[in-house]
Structure 1
Amino acid sequence: MPLPYSGHRIQTTLLHRLGTDHWHARVPAGQLVGLGEALDAAERLGARREFLEGSAQNRERERVLRERPEALSVLGQVVLGAGSVFWVPDGTRSSGTLDLFGLECIDGFQLLALIARLAATLTLEHLNQAVLDVRIFTGAARELARGEYDRAHLYCNPAEPQDLLVRHPIMIKLVKQFANDQLHFKLRRGERRGPHRAGYSIGEATTALALFSREAHPDLAHRTLEDKGRQEIWRDPSGPAFRTLFNDRTQATGIRIAITFRRSILDVLEEMLRARSAHHWHLLEDAPDLVVWAVSRRLPIDWLHCSQRDPAAPQWEKILDEVPALTRESAESLVHAYEQLRPNRVYKRAEVRELPYWKQLLKTAG
């Protein structure tokens, strides 16, 4: 339990009483300055943490509160526990002044502390442009709220960069293009209920496009082989990596071509592995996309997103027939390069998965 905190009065713009021990109010940020001012505010309010000054989230909220205070009204929330609450109406049924005693901060102390710190440099008028949700619990509801907010991290499904792709205009365009061909382009994480059309996922599309990109080196392609690398690329839609793969030229047709060719190359490698298992041929199992990269360099990838109505568009269906032979040639060349780099030495599976070794193998293979 927190140390006894002196009473605090807040003026609300909107107030609902949701039972005998639960209040829900909309409160201008300036009304909350006093709660986070004291040097020992975290202790006195029973907050879980002191102010995390260096956290990326607090830096971002500070920027928002300085530059766009009204935006904080959307997500800003503070949850308080109180020993007692007294409501002083202001003549309306949905607002008024609350006198709060025996306070604790169940959730939202980081926001309270940030408001208190910025009050020294921002005007009260500026702070009050941020109108926050404040929930107040008393009695038995206070104990329940404290326990559940302490476990809230167990319930939360945190957002990842992929989750924001559904808003991106290029992705919206691609989804429509796939839909026109009766195909589903899956941007969202998670299981989709019910029957659904065949299609392609954003993860597979990102990797395939990187492998068939016009980049001179496989750095970007290698990043996309794992979800962590793809999420980093999706995190910054204005960054060079994202724009290399998804830009105004990117077409659903190009994505389908890249995925189709990658799948075809991987199928050929599986056949080769069933026939050969010695003399470093495990390279094909541990670094299959290295072979995809090597084969892609022998294809007209500059024309990947070219309209199929363009007379200059490659005849991809005929080129696909050449993939098995190209794959075998490239695979044999890379295995031979590995034998040159490590003659009569033990094959190291982890080594061949790393980007520096990819570059060595490609350079040796010529």
Structure 2
Amino acid sequence: MTEVLFLPPQLVSSSVPSSFEGLVLRSERVERIGDHRWSAWVGADQLVEWEWEGGRRGYLGESAANVELTELLWQRPWDFGVVGSVVLGAREVRVVPTGLRGGGMVQVSGPEVLDGVQRLGVLARAVAEGLAAESLERSVVRVELVTGPAVDVVRGELDAEDRRRNPATAQDELVRDANVLRVMRQFRADGVRFAVRRGEVREPYGAERCMTVEEATSALACLAPGARLEVAHAADGAAGRERLWADRGGEAYRTVFNESTEAVGVLRAVEIARCVRGVVGRMGRGKRYGHAHLWRDVPQLAVWAVGRQLPLVELHREGRGVGAVDWDVLVRDRLEALTVGVAEGLREAYEVLRPTGESGKRLRHAEVRGLGFWTELMEAYEECGVYADAAALDSL
């Protein structure tokens, strides 16, 4: 039966014969973590001169993950082993303590890789490309050693882990943005929860006082100062928002969340977007033919078009005094009339572009919802001179 042996220092000389053909590791710290399982922290230089067997896949070379891991090894070798590990199965493991803070010499007979082929491959390639030996020595890697019946258990659990892993998304990184964190704190001070993280319970705003980052992003993409049509179009769907969030240093993202973004402006944008969507939703209800389906198919475009007639430069400002925008009055008393006028103008411009009244599925889904059509429709809307009710505009 395979077993793990822990030998006292006085038996060191007799326990590691010169003819031993297995792997010998000098570990800074060795500890037992369960039956037939040990953890050892070793310098990466000890893992590069071995012909490894095992692993479900070979080294994947220039995969995105390996490229990033290689860059880490070259630039910051001391951080290479901060996360991750190499898991080795073995026929037998012998540990000889050195008496230095839990360190020891680990003799591994018949090692095979259960997990860590890519990490080992990165090390081997870096050595072949001339990475200095001292850099490898500075990189401490956790090696888990498994023997006996634990080998099949660990191998099975490692295989299953690929199915259980929840991959990270761009939304998961939003809480690392100082501007988003600042807005979260501002909302919290006002008794509103700004739900940014995936997995958070999302209650409707007004009941549990919750604002979601998805709705905020869609609204700000239309109404933030400097917003562009292509960003508003992208932010209307989950995939587009994810792409927007992924480029946190990009112009589009910086339009939505930046140093000037304030909770009060986010709240205004969401309330305006909800109002506009509600109005065009009622306008399109029950109208199944002609050009009125535009209101049901692209309410985000209506939000964008209404935004072009609002004083958006003041969105994130706490206006007071003469000349300041009274956003509460605007939303309560003026926004619905303005929205009706803009929505009718969009429909009329649509009718000019498509006078035959096409309303088939192909048009509604493949064209009306596309960015190209949004651009064409907005140009026609402006050229036709079809605007919202003048009285409503003058009172803003």
Q: Same fold (TM over 0.5)?
A: yes
**1:275 to partner: Cα distance:** 5.2
**1:345 to partner: Cα distance:** 4.9
Q: Is 214-223 or 164-173 further displaced after alignment?
A: 214-223
Structure 1: runs of 5+ lacking an equivalent = 1-5
**1:310 to partner: Cα distance:** 6.4
Structure 2: runs of 5+ lacking an equivalent = 1-20, 383-396
Q: In 2, distance between residues paired with 1:152 and 1:22? A: 18
AA partner of residue 41 (structure 2):
R
Q: In 1, distance between residues paired with 2:346 and 2:188? A: 39
Q: Is 114-123 or 342-351 further displaced after alignment?
A: 342-351
Aligned 8 A contact 1:16 1:24 in 2 = yes
Q: In 1, distance between residues paired with 2:33 and 2:273? A: 57
Task: Give the match for residue 252 of structure 2.
Answer: 241
Shift in CA distance, 296/286, structure 1 to aligned 2, threshold 3 Å: same
Q: In 2, distance between residues paired with 1:129 and 1:161? A: 32
AA partner of residue 109 (structure 2):
F
Greater radius of gyration (CA): 2
SS class of match (2:236): coil
SS class of match (1:85): strand
Q: In 1, distance between residues paired with 2:330 and 2:80? A: 54
Shift in CA distance, 309/70, structure 1 to aligned 2, threshold 3 Å: farther
Task: Give the match for residue 199 of structure 2.
Answer: 190
SS class of match (1:163): helix
Aligned 8 A contact 2:223 2:312 in 1 = yes
Q: Deviations over 1:155-192 (max 9, x none)?
A: 11111121122222112211111011111111111143
AA partner of residue 102 (structure 1):
G
Task: Give the match for residue 107 of structure 1.
Answer: 115
Task: Quote the sequence identity (%).
Answer: 39
**1:95 to partner: Cα distance:** 1.8
Aligned 8 A contact 1:46 1:106 in 2 = yes
**1:134 to partner: Cα distance:** 1.3
SS class of match (1:94): coil
SS class of match (2:232): helix
Q: In 1, distance between residues paired with 2:34 and 2:313? A: 65
Q: In 1, distance between residues paired with 2:139 and 2:324? A: 54
Given candidates 141, 146, 150, the residue that maps to 2:150 is: 141
Q: In 2, distance between residues paired with 1:334 and 1:299? A: 17
Shift in CA distance, 123/342, structure 1 to aligned 2, threshold 3 Å: same
Q: In 1, distance between residues paired with 2:85 and 2:322? A: 58
Q: How does 1:9-88 map to 2 (within 5 A)?
A: 9-35=24-50, 38=51, 41=52, 45-88=53-96
**1:193 to partner: Cα distance:** 9.9
Task: Give the match for residue 313 of structure 1.
Answer: 324
Shift in CA distance, 127/310, structure 1 to aligned 2, threshold 3 Å: farther
Task: Give the match for residue 208 of structure 1.
Answer: 219
Q: How does 1:117-128 map to 2 (within 5 A)?
A: 117-120=125-128, 121-128=130-137
The number of equivalent residue pairs is: 354
What CA RMSD, in Å, does the superposition of the two structures yield over aligned residues?
2.1
Q: How does 1:278-293 map to 2 (within 5 A)?
A: 278-293=289-304
AA partner of residue 285 (structure 2):
R
Shift in CA distance, 227/273, structure 1 to aligned 2, threshold 3 Å: same
Q: In 1, distance between residues paired with 2:342 and 2:203? A: 42
**1:308 to partner: Cα distance:** 3.1
Q: In 1, distance between residues paired with 2:121 and 2:165? A: 23
AA partner of residue 310 (structure 2):
L
Given candidates 237, 259, 263, the residue that maps to 2:270 is: 259
Task: Give the match for residue 12 of structure 2.
Answer: none
Q: In 2, distance between residues paired with 1:228 and 1:97? A: 51
